[in-house]
Chains A and B, each alone.
Chain A
Amino acid sequence: MSFSSELLIKVLVVLATAPVMALGLTLLEVKGSAWMQRRPGPLHVGLRGFIFPLATAAKYFQKETIIPKDVDEPVFKWAPAWVIAAVVGLFTIIPLSPTLIVRDLELGVFFLLAISSISTIGVLTAGWSSANKFSLMGGLRAAGQLIAYELPLILSVVGVVIQAETMSTVGIVEKQIEFGFPFVIAGQGIAFIIFMIAATAEMMRTPFDMPIGESELTMGFMTEYSGIRFLIFYISEYINLFVMCAIASTLFLGGYHIPLLPTEWVNFYGPLVLIGKTFTLAFLLIAIRWSFPRFREDQLQTLAWKVLIPLSLLNIMVTAIMKVVF
């Protein structure tokens, strides 16, 4: 197969998978929150609530796209594209099995951290171009937050990289298989917790949803968006949730591998195992979202700079020492 046709197929597969995963997570979130909040609606409406995500998406398609008068139009229109491009781009390095991966990059983890920062640009430009003070504050909060939490995200992964001696995501999973234990048990437990906290902040989910802060900033940088552009923000939020949880399960929970299953069949069960782990992690984040209020901006920064970053530096140190000793 030529390179271009292979690329085309891979791109199409990713573009088909990403929204499906987003729909699945939307369903999980709707059902999970309804279960936590004793709301009977999502269990009954529309085939026991199962067509709800589709209905939501269809609703946004038929809504009018309103572009306010004073916005910086090209920037305003392109901002959602930055965000969704960044999150879909991360699909490149998620291994569904040793061979089922868009591209097993040598610097996979580096790629992850570089690409995930791009969404900051989208969020900041969305907030700036909306010509709305609430959006502007939301955009600035998002920028501050994403920069602050990029660091613990990177530093927590460094521990894994040291232990696995590779930056390739497949390599990290293979190392865990070789090791016998996923890294979350074998030494990187603290890194896993830091990673999940930082990822939650990166995704701007409660308790770190100040950039959106519906009751404060009326929706932050998304205030002026409507119709299909709002849908893009909405979907990219869930794709991001999927990607971050998939990466967390790859780096810390053994990815596509599950003990006792024959490794030669990994191409069949690998995707299911990874998606299962991802959805379990996502459910954890969903449960957190629906039970906690949001932090304040200064508390968020304090948590990042005074707790998470020193802790992850300590984690790197300990990991490095252990690596040298053993």
Chain B
Amino acid sequence: MSQTMDPNNMPFLSEASVSVEIETEDMTLNIGPQHPSTHGVLRLVAKVNGEKISSVEPVLGYMHRGYEKLAEVRTYPQVTTLVNRIDWVSGFANEIPFIAGAEKLMEIEVPERAQYIRLILTEMARISSHFVFNGAFPLEIGALTPIFLAMEDRERVLDLLESVTGGRFHPNFNRIGGVKPVAGAGPTTKKDIQDLPAGFYHDTKVAMEKVLKAVDTFEDLIGGNEVFQARTKKVGVLTKEVAEEYGVSGPILRASGVEFDLRKQSDYLPYDKFDFEIPIGENGDCFDRWSVRTSEMRESAKIILQAIEDMPSGPIQAKVPKVIKVPKGQTYVRAENPKGEMGYYIISEGGLGPYRLKIRTASFSNISILPIMLEGALLPDLIAIMGSLDFVLGDVDR
């Protein structure tokens, strides 16, 4: 703050009406890369006038790991190891569009059982991702308890994922033409490969019942909390038009009232066989974004319960050549990931690995609305808005 005074007016004691002009400057507040609420290493250069934000510029790239380039020197089966780590909160879901793209180029028909296993595990990844959101978002607003409840409930889902894939966060489970056979199934037992662990049916059923119960708890504990409502309702309103213009996807887009879900609109996994609803928000504020995700957990649990009931039997792997070479061509496959639309543009020159891979991640497009939403917001609202966008820095920077 600087004061400018006219020296001619200095004997101000004699005059009652001296106008002293006070010029105020906005303070530049550097939020991040190290900050508890930036989900990793996002940096926001905010110009603040007291508590009010006049402009925000997100600075990305602190976590750029060059996966698109790395994929060019890897074979197709090796790339899944990389894409696991893009959005590490839902590692399994990242593999699906890439594998589906490669299969599309190779024109492989994936066995139905493998499709079902993929679908179940993708939905589990969605549930675990939304559990993290349900813990982290209230934590950023200041409620310290939900994160512990969410983590405990998420652990059950992760245990299931681990029991099938062997990995909690980075399963690396999909193979071109199917899914990985269970570890230890050697050549002698190849005939009767066991794909899902014993007791998976029962454990999943129990876990999903618990998930449904947890969703009820969250809707009561978080959604029913007056302070939470005061902090999130009518805060960070994103209109339908702006959301569509900026390529926002996933729960954020649906919270703004756009009914767009690739699980219904695309056929990368057999979602059309199940009965589930797409939760839609009305106002597009932070509360709607929270409630859309939380309702989505319930729908995901419903899908899983249906899928384990009518799980088809049969092979889990299509016939593929020993050395996987993808024929020349290009394709774009997109999927509805927990954070939004994730797509892989694969260009193949007929080699062992992709010639060029472009990854479209949900979080990157989603945080592009930050400068618009944060203009004129208060500093505490910045935290609430960022939390409600639910991005992962690995998903932003790749």
| A209 CA to B380 CA, complexed, in Å | 12
Given known A-B contacts A215-B37, A296-B381, A291 and B142 have beta carbons under 8 A apart? no
Q: Is A5 an interface residue (CB 8 A)?
A: no
Q: Does B320 contact A (CB under 8 A)?
A: no
> Can you show 20 pairs from A to B with CB atoms below 8 A apart?
A33-B145, A37-B144, A37-B145, A38-B148, A206-B142, A206-B143, A213-B142, A214-B36, A216-B379, A216-B380, A290-B144, A292-B142, A292-B225, A293-B143, A294-B142, A295-B231, A296-B380, A296-B381, A297-B378, A298-B378
Closest residue of chain B to A210, judged by CB? Answer: B380
Indicate whether A218 reaches chain B with its CB closer than 8 angstroms.
yes
User: Are A294 and B29 in contact, with the CB atoms below 8 A?
Assistant: no
A-binding residues in B (CB < 8 A)? 27, 29-30, 35-37, 51, 138-145, 148-149, 152, 221, 225, 227-228, 230-231, 378-381, 383
B142 A293 Cβ-Cβ under 8 A: yes
**CB within 8 Å for A37 and B149 given contacts A206-B144, A292-B143:** yes
- Given A133-B27, A295-B227, A296-B231, A207 and B142 touching (CB < 8 A)? yes
**Do residues B227 and A216 form an inter-chain contact, with CB atoms below 8 A?**
no
Chain B min CB distance to A177 (Å): 38
The closest CB in chain B to the CB of A37 belongs to B148
* With contact pairs A218-B35, A294-B141, A295-B227 given, residues A137 and B379 touching in the complex (Cβ less than 8 Å): yes
Q: A36 at the A/B interface (Cβ < 8 Å)?
A: yes
A291 close to B145 (CB less than 8 A)? yes
- Number of A interface residues in the complex (CB < 8 A): 28
Q: Whole-angstrom distance between the alpha carbons of A209 and B139 in the complex? A: 13
Q: Tell me the complex Cα distance, A39–B150, Å.
A: 12
Complex interface bits, A8-49 against B, C-beta within 8 A gives 1, otherwise 0: 000000000000000000000000010011110000000000
CB <8 Å contact, A295 and B383: no
Contacts of B139 in A (CB 8 A): 215
Which parts of A179-202 form the interface with B (CB within 8 Å)? none
**B142 near A38 (CB under 8 angstroms)?**
no
With the chains together, A38 CA to B147 CA distance in Å?
A: 11
A206-B142, A209-B142, A294-B142 given; name 10 further pairs at CB < 8 Å.
A33-B144, A36-B145, A137-B379, A207-B142, A213-B142, A215-B141, A215-B142, A291-B143, A294-B380, A299-B231
Closest CB in chain B relative to A3 CB, distance in Å: 48
